[in-house]
Chain A
Amino acid sequence: MQIRIDHVSKAYGDFAAIREVSLTIRKGALVALLGPSGSGKTTLLRVIAGLEHPQQGRVILDGADVTETPVQKRGIGFVFQDYALFEHLSVGDNVAFGLAVRRVPIDEQTSRVRELLARVQLADLAGRMPRELSGGQRQRVALARALAPDPRVLLLDEPFGALDARVRAELRGWLRRLHDELHITSVFVTHDQDEALEVADQLVVLDHGRIEQVGAPAEVLAHPASPFVAEFLGGTHLLRGDVRDGVASFGGLSLPVAGTGPARAFVRVVLENPTRQVGS
């Protein structure tokens, strides 16, 4: 499903979480909303889901304006940061929930739950209660549950935030593969640039409630649109210098520029073959 955000603003009291944000996400993409805390990335995700109502602007899914459509009717799947599993229901019943409320026949529910649990490699745990699972397992149950009603778009809020480093790395690769198999339009929120660069096809970098840059990871890395983006993606050094006679000099480095006065240059050191460098 294609997602279009058109001049959306949302404030909580005096705090403007997102301001006049416009964005188009193409069908089948895997997009990362990347930014520091307070940048508005989670608010944007919740506005797309219908969990927050914007004060201004429109949300358009596949050409249909859903700004006033309640969350139940948007056909989205949402994975909460703390998973929000139903603690009183077994793993199987958690996954079946979206089917049960639609009154899908029981045998159909059973086969769908079995299929989804197999897909997230939890086929044996259908009878367990959520409190008996590890963090990584809970995350996968939450994902299976969100996928059960066959949503047109999958929204994930800090999907790997609460997990330890090893499980995180494993789940990243796994989300990527899942997306490659299902081709469902997916948007996830993260504050971790490595995570965004590794998993997403498209980055949306946010700061202070505004979009700083949208693009493919390689493109954003190579051509950061603003000092914020360059700094946030990391590995960037700031050099200060002066411009004289059309040449900016930063110590030993000179670059031709227009204008005069003080100058700043952002320099990223790119290693030709990073893995070998790290290994030696």
Chain B
Amino acid sequence: MRRTLIGIAIGFFALFLVVPLVVVFATAFRDGVVPYLRAIATPDARAALKLTLVAASIAVPLNIAFGIAAAWAIARFKFPGRRMLVTLIDIPFAVSPVVVGMMFVLLFGAHGYLAGVIHTKIVFAVPGIVLATAFVTIPFVARELIPALEARGPDQELAALTLGATPWQTFWRVTLPGLRWPLAYGAILCTARAIGEFGAVSVVSGHVRGETTTVPLHVEILYNDFQYQAAFAVATLLVMIALATVIVQRVIERSR
């Protein structure tokens, strides 16, 4: 009985996780190391990597700031609309990313509702990609922090106040350090998703090569061009980011 179960688990794991990983790397290195490096080093690939990092480095800090503010408000204060806010935070999880992308096109596109108000090009340009990335990654930090703050209760913060700390000192010296593990955890999940996001970014991107393609979009373009080796070579970058995320997660879980 036990052997059967373990056998099924390992078989499933091998079939759905290990085999695809092996295939990705095997295809990427099919023609040797030099073509692999060449595929990663093309100007388009480098531009895609740069855009991905730019989008993530704007979206992640934004959502860390939002997540801390929202979690603090929800866990420490009672105000009208509090439950509504908890529900709203989850919307990016619930809505299909494609719909998110279409929403931004509808709002900011050439014939969008806000086209007359905002004159910067947003859709089919870098700002749209940053916006879409930020939107789909909203919940990660807040979702980690709310239960952590609620579980900890307000007493440490009140103690800081009785010791003469100002509200800001209390926040920086007590609240934030107390949240460092859930915050790191949420930030890592947020980063992984920001880098890997495909659907919403695909809709707003317009696929202008070297300008509005992120790494996942670049992989798709190469794949559709039948450049399998190059597509998988770039895909290894995403796989390695995913593996690194899982490893860092494990480290954080162990140290908290």
Contact residues of A between 110 and 159, Cβ < 8 Å to B: 145-146, 148-149
Task: Tell whether B161 is near chain A: CB-to-CB under 8 Å.
Answer: yes
Nearest-neighbor residue (CB-CB) of B166 within chain A? A72
Q: Which residues of B contact A89 (CB under 8 A)?
A: 177
Contact residues of B between 159 and 190, Cβ < 8 Å to A: 159-166, 169, 173-174, 177-178, 180
Nearest-neighbor residue (CB-CB) of A102 within chain B? B164
Task: Tell whether A245 is near chain B: CB-to-CB under 8 Å.
Answer: no
Contact of B163 among A51, A82, A87, A97 (CB under 8 A): A97
Q: Which segment, of A73-81, A168-176, A195-203, A246-254, faces chain B?
A: A73-81
- B171 vs chain A, min Cβ distance (A): 12
Cβ contact within 8 Å between A71 and B161: yes
Cβ contact within 8 Å between A76 and B162: yes
Cβ contact within 8 Å between B164 and A101: yes
Cβ contact within 8 Å between B156 and A87: yes
Cβ contact within 8 Å between A97 and B165: yes
Task: Tell whether A163 is near chain B: CB-to-CB under 8 Å.
Answer: no
Q: Which residues of A contact B166 (CB under 8 A)?
A: 72, 101
Nearest-neighbor residue (CB-CB) of B179 within chain A? A88
Q: A98-B163, A98-B164, A101-B164 are in contact. Are A84 and B169 (CB under 8 A)?
A: no
Cβ contact within 8 Å between B156 and A84: yes
Q: Which residues of B contact A145 (CB under 8 A)?
A: 159, 163
- A51 vs chain B, min Cβ distance (A): 6
Task: Tell whether B88 is near chain A: CB-to-CB under 8 Å.
Answer: no
Task: Tell whether A86 is near chain B: CB-to-CB under 8 Å.
Answer: yes
Contact residues of A between 93 and 112, Cβ < 8 Å to B: 97-98, 100-102
Q: Which residues of A contact B158 (CB under 8 A)?
A: 51, 71, 78, 80, 84
Q: A80-B155, A84-B155 are in contact. Are A97 and B160 (CB under 8 A)?
A: yes
In the complex, what distance in Å separates the CA atom of A193 from the CA atom of B169?
39
Q: Which residues of B contact A77 (CB under 8 A)?
A: 162-163
Contact residues of A between 265 and 280, Cβ < 8 Å to B: none
Contact residues of B between 55 and 83, Cβ < 8 Å to A: none
Contact of A86 among B162, B169, B174, B180 (CB under 8 A): B174
Q: Which residues of B contact A71 (CB under 8 A)?
A: 158, 161-162
- A17 vs chain B, min Cβ distance (A): 17
In the complex, what distance in Å separates the CA atom of A72 from the CA atom of B155?
15
Task: Tell whether A49 is near chain B: CB-to-CB under 8 Å.
Answer: yes
- B195 vs chain A, min Cβ distance (A): 30
Cβ contact within 8 Å between A101 and B155: no
Q: Which of B162, B166, B177, B178 has the most CB of A within 10 A?
A: B162
Contact of B165 among A76, A80, A84, A101 (CB under 8 A): A101
In the complex, what distance in Å separates the CA atom of A209 from the CA atom of B69?
37
Cβ contact within 8 Å between B162 and A78: yes
Q: Which residues of B contact A (CB under 8 A)?
A: 155-156, 158-166, 169, 173-174, 177-178, 180
A-B pairs with beta carbons under 8 Å apart, 16 shown: A71-B161, A72-B164, A72-B165, A84-B155, A84-B159, A86-B156, A86-B159, A87-B178, A88-B178, A89-B177, A98-B163, A98-B164, A98-B165, A102-B164, A146-B162, A149-B164
The 10 A-B residue pairs whose C-beta atoms are closest, nearest first, are A98-B163, A84-B155, A78-B162, A84-B159, A101-B165, A88-B177, A71-B161, A101-B169, A84-B156, A72-B164
